[in-house]
Amino acid sequence: MKLMITGGAGFLGSRLARALLARGSLAGARIEHLVLADQVPPSAALTADARVEARVGPLLAQCAALAGEHFDGVFHLASAVSGECEADFELGLRSNLDTTRALLDALRASVLAGAPPTRLVFSSSIAVFGPDASALLPAQVGDTTLPAPQTSYGTQKLMCEYMIADYTRKGYVDGRSARLMTVAVRPGRPNGAASSFFSGIIREPLAGQEAILPVSPQTAHPISSPARTIEGLIAVYEASREALGGRLALNLPAVNVRVSEMLDALEAVAGRTVRERVRFVADPIIASIVANWPSAATAERAARLGLRPDADFADIIRQYIADCALAPGGAEALKGMRD
Query: Is residue 180 exposed (0-12), middle (13-18) or buried (19+ Cβ within 10 Å)?
Result: buried
Query: Is residue 229 exposed (0-12), middle (13-18) or buried (19+ Cβ within 10 Å)?
Result: buried
Query: How far apart are alpha carbons 248 and 195 in whole angstroms?
Result: 25
Q: Catalytic: 153? A: yes
Of the residues 153, 167, 172, 237, only one is catalytic, namely: 153
Query: How far apart are alpha carbons 249 and 179 in whole angstroms?
Result: 7
DSSP string, 294-329: -S-B--HHHHHTT----S-HHHHHHHHHHHHHHSTT
Contacts of residue 56, Cβ cutoff 8 Å, sequence gap at least 6: 9, 38, 39, 40, 41
Max CA separation in the chain (angstroms): 62
Query: Is residue 217 exposed (0-12), middle (13-18) or buried (19+ Cβ within 10 Å)?
Result: middle
Query: How far apart are alpha carbons 184 and 227 in whole angstroms?
Result: 10
Which has the closest alpha carbon to 292: 135, 150, 89?
Answer: 150
Q: Which residues are catalytic?
A: 153
